[in-house]
Chains A and B, each alone.
Chain A
Amino acid sequence: SQTIHQWPATLVQPVGSPLSLECTVEGTSNPNLYWYRQAAGRGLQLLFYSVGIGQISSEVPQNLSASRPQDRQFILSSKKLLLSDSGFYLCAWSRESRVNEQYFGPGTRLTVT
Chain B
Amino acid sequence: AQKITQTQPGMFVQEKEAVTLDCTYDTSDPSYGLFWYKQPSSGEMIFLIYQGSYDQQNATEGRYSLNFQKARKSANLVISASQLGDSAMYFCAMSSFNQGGKLIFGQGTELSVKP
Contact = CB atoms under 8 A, between A and B. Distances in A.
A12 B24 CA distance: 37
A107 B50 contact: no
B45 interface: yes
Interface in B56-106: 91, 95-97, 100-106
B97 A43 contact: no
A106 interface: yes
With most chain B CB atoms within 10 A of its CB, the pick from A97, A102, A107 is: A102
Contacts of A34: 102-103
A44 to B, nearest CB: 5
Contacts, number: 64
A109 B107 CA distance: 19
Interface string B30-50: 011101010000111111001
Contact of B91 (A43, A98, A101): A43
B43 A100 contact: no
Give the interface residue-count category, chain A: 20 to 34
Given A100-B33, A101-B35, A101-B50, A107 B43 contact: yes
B35 to A, nearest CB: 6
Contacts of B31: 98-99
B35 A106 contact: no
A109 B33 CA distance: 29
Given A90-B45, A92-B45, A100 B101 contact: yes
5 contacts: A43-B91, A43-B108, A92-B45, A99-B95, A100-B101
Give 10 nearest A-B pairs by CB, closest first: A104-B45, A43-B105, A99-B33, A44-B105, A98-B97, A43-B107, A107-B43, A98-B101, A101-B47, A106-B44
Interface of A: 32, 34, 42-44, 46, 49, 51, 59, 88, 90, 92, 94, 97-107, 109
Interface of B: 31-33, 35, 37, 42-47, 50, 52, 91, 95-97, 100-108
